[in-house]
Amino acid sequence: MRRWKAVFAAALLAVVFAPPAQAASPVYGDFSLMFRRSAGQYAPPGEKAYQWAWSPQSATESQISWGDPASWPPSSAEHFLRSGDWVLLDGWGDNGTYYTERVTSESLCRGSACTAIPSDGGRQHYVRWTVPSSDYRLVAEGTVTEQSSGRSFRFRHEQTWGAPAPCSSAKFGARTCVKQSESWSSDQDLPDGSPLRETLRRDIRIAKGLGMAFTIDQQVDVPWHAVATEYWNW
Q: Is residue 178 part of a domain?
A: yes
Q: What is the pLDDT of residue 56?
A: 98
Q: Is residue 16 part of a domain?
A: no
Q: Is residue 142 part of a domain?
A: yes
d(CA 212, CA 35): 13
CB atoms within 10 A of CB 153: 15
Q: How many domains does the chain have?
A: 1
Q: Is residue 168 part of a domain?
A: yes
Q: What is the pLDDT of residue 20?
A: 58
**pTM confidence score:** 0.89
Type of residue found at 45: P
d(CA 9, CA 213): 53
Q: Is residue 17 part of a domain?
A: no
Q: What is the pLDDT of residue 13?
A: 47
Residue-number span of the structural domain to which 95 is assigned: 25-233
Q: What is the pLDDT of residue 24?
A: 80
Q: What is the pLDDT of residue 21?
A: 55
Mean pLDDT by 10 residues, the chain (234 residues): 52 52 83 98 96 98 98 96 98 96 98 96 98 97 97 98 98 98 97 96 98 98 97 97
